[in-house]
Amino acid sequence: MNQRFATATNIVAEVSSGARSAVDVVDEHLARIATDDGEIHAFNTVTADAARARAAEIDELVASGSEPGPLAGVPIALKDNMCTRGVRTTCSSKILEEWVPPYNATVVERLAEAGAVVVGKTNLDEFAMGSSTENSAFGPTRNPLDTGRVPGGSSGGSAAAVAAGFASLSLGSDTGGSIRQPAALCGLVGVKPTYGAVSRYGLIAFASSLDQIGPFAHTVGDAALIYDVLAGHDPRDSTSIVQPQASVLTDLGAPIDGLRVGVVKELSGQGNEAFEPAVVQAAADAAEALASAGAKVEDVSIPSAVAGLSAYYMIAPAEASSNLARYDGVRYGLRHDGPNTAAMMRASRTAGFGDEVKRRIMLGTYALSAGYYDAFYGKAQRIRTLMIQEFDEIYQNYDVLLSPTSPCVAFEFGAKADPLTMYYNDVCTIPSNLTGHPAISVPFGLGQAGLPIGVQILGPMLSEPRLFQVAAALEEVAPR
């Protein structure tokens, strides 16, 4: 944890007790944004006036003796692909540059009910397609730990906002690692929940069977605090899990004696030149630390995991091709006129979408086309099914799995301009999206240039309480 910044847990305690006003807390964070975000560019939109007004409401609740909520006065940043009523939501794309939603995403409503204070909307790779936040139509976000390097992506703005102290917590979306990878590169805790555990209502879709909203935080405890606010059934999301979910705060800090931990060989980076040696070593050290804490740690093999990257880059672009068809210059968003409807749509999409979005739309459309559907998309779905089966079998004998989060620490701008090189950043994180399982990235040591390394804890469906328990154990013994 960056000791310069107060934890969300401490902010809640101070604001709820009246020891500190929510207005003062928010003003402090807004002052940092005003001073430093010109260089970092974590935000697309800063909602300073609304944040101060909301903070004043929280202070009034405290003064009247009312319960201000479990996130009372905590400044929070939202990835700019989550709908906010009356505040523009751009997906960092020219095609939605001036779009203002008429409704809030469910997660935005739940944060408001919990007493949180939204300070702005954060930058991302356009439509969440990328691993560096270099693909934003509004310019890249810089890593606060080294401004010559990327913060990761696609939720790089949300990660940078927390790492820079602009917000105590933030939300991102994770389609193939877009929370966990930037969390690793920025030295944060990042959570990708079970698919359906947190509502996607109001999240602008990239790949609907993969997308999931989750938090960034400085500590596992802070991540648990906000997770309990976010999780739970939402009737407006048809994929939302109906059954009640256990609090992740209950077992936080409990011992892990006897816990069965599997280190996934295919994701460990051992013998793989694409993985930095310090990253491989950090994951091995994390496994040893869990063993020293009483866990039973063994190597495990999940053969289908090596095909996860290939399957993902068929399935995700195919779903993106379908989801992004709605941006046609007719109903909403950017419109460029033309002599006929087809020309108008072509001109609008040409001007509105960036290169990476166009690349994935074309890849997905091709994979879904007649004559190629079975060879590409159908085969990728069969690999996905095999992966789900193999992970489920492993979880019969192991409580959690362990791997690096990212093959490398934060890299310099332009260092991975080749798309295939960039895509490989997600090799460890993609399996959890394909299976729908939860995963958490926790900082564990430093690598090249003294930059943070993240290790990833994976678990079966709805195993978040156990994942947070293990994450807290790792956090406790992480190299300082």
79 is catalytic: yes
Q: Which two tokens stand for residue 252?
A: 């936080």
321 is catalytic: no
DSSP bridge pairs for 455 = 404, 442
Helix (H/G/I), strand (E/B), else coil: 433: helix
Dmax (CA) of the chain:
71
Computed from CA positions of residues 174, 228, 232, 158, in that sequence, does the dihedral angle turn out positive or negative? negative
- Give the E-state strand segments of 370-468 in sequence order: 400-404, 439-446, 452-458
Phi, psi of 404, deg, nearest 5? -60, 160
416 is catalytic: no
Task: In whole angstroms, give the CA distance from residue 289 to residue 473.
Answer: 9
Q: Which of 28, 29, 10 is nearest to 19 (CA)?
A: 10
Task: In whole angstroms, give the CA distance from residue 292 to residue 444.
Answer: 15
Q: Which two tokens stand for residue 188?
A: 């944060």
Which residues have CB under 8 Å from 165's CB, separation 6+?
2, 4, 5, 29, 32
Residue from 168, 178, 432, 463 carrying the catalytic annotation: 178
Q: Which of 193, 134, 177 is nearest to 424 (CA)?
A: 177
User: Which residue's entry shows tokens 């966990």?
Assistant: 180
Residue from 16, 21, 79, 199 carrying the catalytic annotation: 79
Helix (H/G/I), strand (E/B), else coil: 92: coil
Phi, psi of 154, deg, nearest 5? -85, -10
Q: Which of 251, 253, 199 is nearest to 229 (CA)?
A: 199
Identify whether the C-beta of residue 217 lies closer than 8 Å to the C-beta of residue 183: no
DSSP per residue, 6-74:
--HHHHHHHHHHTSS-HHHHHHHHHHHHHHHHHHH--EEEE-HHHHHHHHHHHHHHHHTT----TTTT-
Helix (H) / strand (E) element for 363: namely helix 355-368
Residue from 21, 132, 136, 154 carrying the catalytic annotation: 154
What angle, 0 to 180 degrees and rounded to 10, lies between the N-to-C axes of helices 48-63 and 22-40?
A: 160
Helix (H/G/I), strand (E/B), else coil: 365: helix
Q: Is the peptide bond before 154 cis (omega within 30 degrees of 0)?
A: yes
Burial (Cβ within 10 Å: 0-12, 13-18, ≥19) of residue 402: buried
* Residues annotated as catalytic (active site), given as ranges: 79, 154, 178
